Amino acid sequence: MRILVADDHDLLRDTLVMFLDNEGTIETAAVGTFTQAVERIEADAPYDLILLDYNMPGMNGLDGLKTAMAMGDGQRVALISGEATRQIAESALEAGAAGFIPKSLPAKSLVNAVKFMAMGEQYAPIDFMTAAEDVTTHPLAEKLTERELQVLKGLTEGKSNKEIARDLDIQEPTVKLHMKTLYRKLEASNRTQAALIAREAGLF
Amino acid sequence: MRILVADDHDLLRDTLVMFLDNEGTIETAAVGTFTQAVERIEADAPYDLILLDYNMPGMNGLDGLKTAMAMGDGQRVALISGEATRQIAESALEAGAAGFIPKSLPAKSLVNAVKFMAMGEQYAPIDFMTAAEDVTTHPLAEKLTERELQVLKGLTEGKSNKEIARDLDIQEPTVKLHMKTLYRKLEASNRTQAALIAREAGLF
DNA sequence: TACCGACCTATCCGATCGGATAGGTCGGTA
DNA sequence: TACCGACCTATCCGATCGGATAGGTCGGTA
């Protein structure tokens, strides 16, 4: 069983490699950046499982996950992260990741999860996926309608009303209507404040 | 030598405890939240060194550090973090922390650092403190004049040009001038983008 | 059926923004 | 002294924003 670990935290790498090597049946490789991971996969594929740190250099969030999954003959790739939200975990699993591992997991569970995934299963810690729910599904987001969220997303990308209208295929006055509602709900007095509040709340 | 580790990442706790216990001369206790750490210190003080995770529940950044240091007869406390910036590390050291440990450290160095600190020394990894310097003193900030920074600060607070002008005691046209220059330097096409870019870069 | 919430459109208008143009002060340097 | 960069002010104008007012569709529920 061959596993590749890519994480810029040497400590996690060292630990994981040590625990996995102790299993006897597992052969572990480890690198510290996404670029190195890509090189390694190109030279050494296929792996039974690849673990990618969500916050490592070059990773660019889920982009790196998708890139890695597309490599070779369709690699099994799992995300590992200390800070990622439940939303990110869900997006990763939807995108076809082999699993999601929060770094808050005990070493033993972590090793078990890795073996589980290397055998072809999809893994995510139940408590993380459920417990975090209320916290992560931002209270703000619940107050907003679907359209308002779409408009807000455009705003947090620095777009003008006209651009947002074009992108959503609606008229500019409608965008303004949603903006007005958004300001009220977010307690903002202009678009810049609304954008900052949305970012602050971790939306998008 | 008695050491207390407080970190919500079970993996890190397990690893650290294992490595330190292997030393023979070190007795290690471990907890998962700041509240537990406080209880443990009250019951069990003094420790030769206490390691606190910067991002753990109840920690509230440097507040937890200061609280812990003030306990008992003046505890020696070090910060450990996976995500903290150089600025945070410096603030911690200035506040009198025994040291700062980024989680990117290899396991061996980490254990050595802990022992070093437990013996009364102050520790911080040289490369982290220097290498991060250029990154953290944001390149953006260097390109901006003092006035431009003041105007940008107002913008990131969601203020209008008129409000910024009043606060800085200059005329509105002058604020607009600085705005125009800011858009050019930040490669933004409107105030919302400029505000988001500034926040993204960690300014203010 | 009556009503409601989410959504969409149109029109109007004052405020603000974004950019240009033209002028100035002041401290520091070739 | 001549020049430059950082800063400040004023005026103008088209574009955009923010808010109000009035009207509509459509699916779901009392």
B155 falls in which pLDDT band (50, 70, 90)? very high
CB atoms within 10 A of CB A187: 9
Q: Please tell me if residue B151 touches chain A, with a CB cutoff of 8 Å.
A: no
Instruction: Give CA torsion, residues A19, A25, A31, A32, to 10 deg.
Output: -20
Q: Is the peptide bond before A46 cis (omega within 30 degrees of 0)?
A: yes
Across the interface, whether the CB atoms of B14 and A189 are under 8 A apart is answered: no
* CA of A73 vs chain B CAs: smallest distance (Å): 31
pLDDT at B192: 92
A126, A105, A41, A113: which is closest to A75 by C-alpha? A41
Whether A189 sits inside 8 A of B10 (CB atoms) is: no
Angstrom distance (rounded) from CA A31 to CA B38: 37
How far A86 CA sits from the closest chain B CA (Å)? 16
Give the pLDDT score at B9: 83
Q: Which of A55, A103, A160 sits opposite B190 (nearest CB)?
A: A160
Mean residue pLDDT of chain B comes to 81
Q: Is the pLDDT of residue A105 over 70?
A: yes
Instruction: Pick A155's closest partner by Cβ from B14, B107, B192.
Output: B192
Question: Chain B contact for A147, CB < 8 A?
Answer: no
Read off the pLDDT of residues A144-197 as tens digits, 9 standing for 90 and up: 888 888 899 889 988 999 988 888 888 888 999 999 988 888 888 899 989 988
Nearest CB to B158: which of A83, A110, A192?
A192
Percent of chain A topping pLDDT 70: 88
CA dist B39 and A61 (Å) reads 38
By Cβ distance, the residue of B9, B105, B195 closest to A196 is: B195
Report d(CA A97, CA A51) in Å as an integer.
Answer: 10
Give which of A79, A77, A67, A76 is closest to A38, Cα–Cα: A67
Q: How close B73 comes to chain A (CA, Å)?
A: 31
A183 touches strand D (CB under 7 A): yes
Q: Are A167 and A154 in contact (CB under 8 A)?
A: yes
Q: A17 contacts in B (CB within 8 Å)?
A: none
Burial call B176-197: b when 16+ CB within 10 Å, e when fewer: eebbeebbebbebeebbbbbbb
* Closest Cα in chain A, distance from residue B190 (Å): 7
Asked if A10 lies within 8 A of B104 by C-beta distance, the reply is yes
How far apart CA B13 and CA B16 sit, in angstroms, is 5
Enumerate the β-bridge partners of residue A27: A2
pTM of the model: 0.51
**Domains plus CATH for chain B?**
2-135 (3.40.50.2300), 139-200 (1.10.10.10)
Can you tell me the mean pLDDT for A124-152? Answer: 66
Say how far apart CA B204 and CA B200 lie, in whole Å. 10
DSSP secondary structure code for residue A71 in this structure: S
E runs forming strands in chain A: 2-6, 27-31, 49-53, 77-81, 99-102
Count of CB atoms situated within 10 Å of the CB of B68: 25
Flag the least confident range among A17-26, A137-146, B79-88, B195-204.
A137-146
Q: Chain A to chain B, count of Cβ pairs less than 8 Å apart?
A: 87
B13 CB closer than 7 A to any strand D atom = no
Residue B55, CA distances (Å) to A82, A84, B106, B145 in order: 10, 13, 20, 34
B-facing residues of A in 4-63 (CB < 8 A) are 8-12, 14-15, 55
- The percentage of residues in chain B with a pLDDT greater than 70, rounded to a whole number, is 89
Round to whole Å and give the CA distance between A42 and B27: 45
Among B46, B76, B55, B44, residue whose Cα is nearest residue B9: B55
Using the predicted structure, report yes or no on whether residue B142 has a pLDDT greater than 80: no
Residue B13 vs residue B202, higher pLDDT: B13
Chain B residues with CB-CB distance to A107 below 8 A: 10-11, 14-15
Q: What is the mean pLDDT of chain A?
A: 81
